[in-house]
Every structure is written in C-alpha cells, then in structure tokens.
Amino acid sequence: MYPQYLFEYPNIDTDFPFHMKKKRYTSVPSHRHDFIELSFVLEGKGTEWINGTAHDMLPGTIVLLLPYQIHKYHAAEDEPLLMYICNFDMKLVTAGPESAWGLHELLLGRDETQPAYIQLQGKAYEDGVQLWDRLYQEYESSLAWRPIMLRALLLEALSQFIRNMARQDTTPTRTQHPASTKGIWPVVQYVYDHYLEPLSLNTLSEQFHIHPAQLSTQFGEAFGIYFVDFLHELRIRHACSLLISSDLPISQVAFESGFSSYPTFSRTFHRIKGITPSQYRQKKGLRR
C-alpha cells in the first residue's frame, strides 16, 4: 500500500500558514506531505522511519521533515510519545533574507547527507523544552504581534536544530529506496516551485537532463503516483486556496491554478476532493 499523501493542514490557507499541536501518539502510519514538519519529543520512546531509514525517538529528539519525505513512527509498548508538532509552508521562513543564510538550502533538502533528526541532551535538552514551550504558548495565545513572535521563535527552533546538528554525528544510513530515485528530490522541489506553470515530463527532462521515461519511473518508485497526478494534486491545493480566499469565478480559478482546460480541472477536482469546486466553496462559506 502506498503511503498516505497529506497536502492540507489547519491554517494552510491563511496569511500565516503555520499550525502547531501537542499530542500523544502510539502509532502513525506511513505518509508524506508537501509542507514542512518540525517536531520535538517531550516524553516516551519509539522508532521512526524516514524514507526507509529508522532512528530512535526519545525525549529531546527533533525531526525536520522536508516536503514529500515519507515517514512513519511507532511508540514502544506502554511508552506513548508526547510530541510538539509544527506544520508550515517553507515560504514562511524563506521569503526574507534568511534564504541567503543557508535556511533555504536546508529546507529544500539539496544536501543528500543532511540528517533529518538530532538528539538533544543535558543543557541543550532543557533549552529545547523551554523554547518549544514558549512557541506553543505563543501559538495558543491571542496577543498582539503573534505572527511576528511565532516566526521569530520558529526561526530560533530551526537555528537550534542546525547548531546541534553540527555538534553531533547523526548521519543516517542510506535510504532503502532504489538507487534510481536518488536524483528525484531536486525535480520534486522544482515541481513544487513551478506547478502553476506549464509542466510535463518532457519539460522536466530538458531541465534536469533525465530521460522522460526514467523520470516517470522515478516518480512511481519514490511516490507510488504518476507524475501528472502528482502535479494535479498540487494544483488542486492551490485552487482550494483561491476558492475560499477570493471571489474569482470558478472558471478563472481553474486557469489561475495551472489548468489549461476547465473540464480537466473540474474532473480532477472532483476526483481528489470528492465534491465539485462550487460545492467546496459553499462548504467553506463562499457562495460565488
């Protein structure tokens, strides 16, 4: 069975696409998503698999999951995992000068050897707990300048991850995916950045100098999905945002979302969301 694909989370369609929760888990099935996930283990013990590679989850474990990484985790018996989990759009922290400081490269995952997790201990763990508690308290508040404080604390949490990563050797063993999928991640990120533009296997082939048939195979092996379905899912997510945040005619939403044909948009939307675009808009409160 292919992993579940998540491309929505609370607040994703707001001007501050950030969501945080504190929750206990015993098991989370294999899944993937096209947004960033940053998590911190407070209590419990377990194991997580990221792209086929396992690592321990203990108090102080911080995991930075990049778009489309496949992961799952299980808690040890009688030791459920209490975790802070943040979901956010990468553009939330790469729109400013931070992109020139290395953050953009970290979030795009272009360093194949980049570890996905770190383990805080001693004073670093205590500092981590204090920082994540502050982040969660700010998220739950309604204070003035809340988005600014949240962004500042999020950047601090990412800085903590990067600095501690440099102090410890947590380089994971190689992924269990076929070697042929090694070069797919830059292509995936390119699609994520350009999905509103005309894209095809042929255009990607020219961009990355990989044969279209090989690209198609890599998408299938890495994600269990055809390239065109992968592209359509991104475009439908964008369309959902337009439907609930604007009064654009639905036909225009289709073209603004990268579809060259309204019938294709309508069929694709219904297949992915289970309802028509107009029903989706009505359900979310706009009746245009």
pLDDT at 1 over 80: no
Q: Six-digit token pair at 42?
A: 């407070």
Distance CA 286, CA 288 (A): 6
pLDDT at 22 over 70: yes
Rounded to an integer, the average pLDDT of 180-188 is 65
Higher pLDDT, 30 or 19: 19
pLDDT tens profile 224-257: 778 998 899 889 988 887 887 788 999 999 999 9
Please state the pTM of the whole predicted model: 0.68
pLDDT tens profile 110-166: 444 567 899 999 999 999 999 999 999 999 999 999 999 999 999 999 999 988 987
pLDDT at 178 over 60: no
> What is the average pLDDT value for the chain, to the nearest integer?
85
Distance CA 143, CA 137 (A): 10
Answer whether 82's CB lies under 8 Å from 98's CB.
Answer: no
Task: Tell me what pLDDT residue 288 has.
Answer: 44
Distance CA 93, CA 86 (A): 13
Answer whether 92's CB lies under 8 Å from 60's CB.
Answer: no
pLDDT at 183 over 70: no
Q: Which among 188, 178, 282 is positioned nearest to 230, based on CA atoms?
A: 188
Structural domains in the chain?
A: 4-167 (2.60.120.280), 179-284 (1.10.10.60)
Higher pLDDT, 52 or 201: 201
Higher pLDDT, 52 or 179: 52
